[in-house]
A and B are shown apart, each in its own frame.
Chain A
Amino acid sequence: MRASFAAVVSTATAIAFAFLLLPIVAIFLRVPVGHLFAQLGDRVTRDALLVSVRTSAIAHASVLLVGTPVAYLLARRRFPGRAAVLTLVELPLVLPPAVAGIALLAAFGRFGLLGKHLHTLGIDVGLGTQTAVVLAVAFVESPFYVRGAVAAFEGVDDNLLAAARTLGAGPWRVFLRVALPLAAGGLGAASALALARGLGEFGATIIFAGSLQGVTQTLPLAIYAQFDQSFDVALAISALFILVGAGILIALKVFGWLRFTSISPFRPAASTSS
């Protein structure tokens, strides 16, 4: 069998493309555009959209805020137990979302490890609260960001950071003016991946936070509920979801491209002759 390498690669690419594109195209072909816009007028849809956007935004911002310094530390310092910490951070990746939901219940539920103490203080982060959704989304999406962020920081040349220090920069300046800008490309990609995962979160949310319109019912939960009642409505909300997701991804890409083309790692090196 003498199949040429190029032919095999092209075929594989075509199959992959078709496989990924087909279900998405199928949705849009079944939803008349008019329906899509009409769907936006539906209370359930609008509430779900609002809940999704709010909870994803808060969860993602928290993950970025806390995850970035943690990733920096993990990337640059060798300390005892580092491997264990890395594994712990990646743990939610291997948990089925339902298991993640149960774990969150066990920790933050009314009788949970931390939850019961919060409960006596009158703080409720469990069933029926929007905070529960934020917790579930953050828990599930964090490893996607931290893993990518660690790789991005590890990719920054040690000597550049050392140079900054010999030039009088303290740890903060080294981080803000050298490490962060140079890792920005990788951080952006990891952030997009995590955000996408968070937006699509379902299993952990429904178990830990439940589903209540306007409070905890996110877009994925709304789609699932509507699926029982009306397939067309479910389709319309799904199409909407795809547009929102694609919009965010594209926006991130454009932003990254505009801001950081100057430090693209893929530029060829200049010659060494004068």
Chain B
Amino acid sequence: MASLHFDLAVPTRSFDVELALDVGAETVALVGPSGAGKTTVLRAVAGLARPARGSIVCGDDVWFGDGTDLRPEQRSVGFVFQEYALFPHLTVERNVTFAGGEADGLLERLRIAHLAHAKPRDLSGGERQRVALARALARRPRVLLLDEPMGALDPHTRASVRGELHDLLRELRLPTLLVTHDFEDAAAVADRIGVLSEGKLRQLGTAPDLLGAPADEVVASFAGANVLPGVAARAPDGLTVVRLDAGATVYSTDEALGSVDVVLYPWDVSLGLVTADDSALNHLTDEIVSVARVGNRVRVRLRTLTGEITAASAERLELEPDRRVVASFKATATRLLPRA
């Protein structure tokens, strides 16, 4: 089973992207804010961008490095582009067999056999994504590269596609690099996640690793956490007290001193209309800025932080902008990251 190893530096307009990874028969997601250089990494592996230095090796074959620089057509990659880049003048079948070979099995597997003679412009977003996948796989590549494979889909389609993609990648067992700006997509589909920011890797690990122990505030905020700056000091009972820059005071079971970032996940926050009588919890009274329904959850944005509760709870509380609510969260859920 082939694997992908690369260690490269690629210059871009604003900074150099530097990344070293070993990808086995697994899916590694590269996440980060847009412009972080994630797509550049994919293009470099495919041979569409030239690294300034480094090496790219697939199995026993050197694709780049030591004087070698194989052209894209000489490497064995399957690339799914953002917006899919399907050939508009060819039918689905012709698209998939562009690299040669048989299409039937693949079309069946991806449930697009009935679209074989359709043209890309007649397909929906989800169908186009499956055609792009089929086309990338038709050549039996040794490495799979996916650039925002769900970026062009509406939220409703995304949910179902996530599961399908996860199963497909599991079945293929190819070294796969997936780029996305959505942490949840990454968490659902990938085995490991690497957070890229301004061309550098901040943390590499599984989703639980990143959520439980984010290396810095970039990783944390990327994983969807609230990141609240403040100043920490020792408190009785082994706790740490943090005075937030925003004004409130919270307690944490983490140990830290001085300038810190408080990392708090929205789903660890409960909301109520009055302060619950529970001293084990942190309490924050704040004003609601916006209320947004996402599936069967509701994201409530307060002035200071964001919380996520069930739709049922939201209804019960009759939440709406400008109302004051109390946000409560455990001291154990209040993590601390030292600030540089």
Contact = CB atoms under 8 A, between A and B. Distances in A.
B85 interface: yes
Interface in A177-200: 177-178, 181-182
A269 interface: yes
Given A270-B124, A274-B125, A170 B88 contact: no
Interface in A258-274: 262-263, 267, 269-274
Interface stretch (A67-75, A124-132, A160-168): A160-168
Contact of B88 (A182, A271, A272, A274): A182
A187 to B, nearest CB: 14
Given A162-B81, A270-B122, A274-B125, A168 B73 contact: yes
B135 A167 contact: yes
Nearest to A164: B98
Contacts of A165: 47-48, 71-73
A78 to B, nearest CB: 14
B7 interface: no
A240 B308 CA distance: 79
Interface string B141-167: 000000000001110110000000000
Contact of A162 (B72, B88, B119): B72
Nearest to A163: B85
B127 to A, nearest CB: 7
A274 B72 contact: no
Kindly state the interface size class of chain A when it binds its partner: 20 to 34
Contacts of B78: 166
B81 A270 contact: no
A157 interface: yes
Given A163-B85, A166-B79, A168-B73, A262 B119 contact: yes
B127 A162 contact: no
B99 interface: yes
Contacts of B152: 272
B253 to A, nearest CB: 45
Contacts of A160: 85, 87
B272 to A, nearest CB: 38
A273 B127 CA distance: 10
Nearest to A181: B89
A159 B99 contact: no
A166 B72 contact: yes
A106 interface: no
B121 interface: yes
A39 to B, nearest CB: 44
Interface of B: 43, 46-48, 71-73, 75, 77-79, 81-83, 85, 87-89, 98-100, 119, 121-127, 135-136, 138-139, 152-154, 156-157
Interface string A62-90: 00000000000000000000000000000
A273 B157 contact: yes
Given A165-B72, A272-B152, A159 B85 contact: yes
Contacts of A272: 124-125, 152-154, 157
A165 to B, nearest CB: 4
Contact of A269 (B48, B121, B138, B154): B121
Given A162-B72, A178-B87, A263-B89, A273 B124 contact: yes
Nearest to A174: B73
A270 B98 CA distance: 23
Given A166-B72, A167-B135, A272-B124, 12 more contacts: A157-B85, A159-B83, A165-B47, A166-B75, A167-B139, A168-B99, A168-B100, A168-B139, A182-B88, A270-B123, A271-B124, A273-B156
B89 A162 contact: no
B116 to A, nearest CB: 16
B73 A274 contact: no
Top 9 closest A-B pairs, CB basis? Answer: A272-B125, A165-B72, A166-B79, A167-B99, A159-B85, A263-B89, A163-B85, A274-B126, A274-B124
A4 B89 CA distance: 42
Contacts of A270: 121-124
30 contacts: A157-B85, A159-B81, A159-B83, A159-B85, A160-B85, A160-B87, A162-B46, A162-B72, A163-B79, A165-B72, A166-B46, A166-B75, A166-B77, A166-B136, A167-B73, A168-B100, A178-B87, A262-B89, A262-B119, A263-B88, A263-B89, A269-B121, A270-B124, A272-B125, A272-B152, A273-B154, A273-B157, A274-B124, A274-B156, A274-B157
Contacts of A169: 73, 98-99
Nearest to A272: B125
Nearest to A182: B89
Considering residues B77, B87, B119, B157, which has the most beta carbons from chain A within 10 angstroms of its beta carbon?
B87
Contact of B121 (A163, A164, A267): A267
A162 B73 contact: no
Contacts of A164: 87, 98
B101 to A, nearest CB: 10
Contacts of B154: 272-273
Contacts of B73: 165-170
B93 to A, nearest CB: 14
A166 B42 CA distance: 12
B96 to A, nearest CB: 10
Nearest to B120: A270
Nearest to B43: A162
Interface in A225-274: 262-263, 267, 269-274
Interface in A141-169: 157, 159-160, 162-169
A182 B88 CA distance: 8
Given A168-B73, A182-B89, A273-B154, A162 B48 contact: yes
A274 B160 CA distance: 11
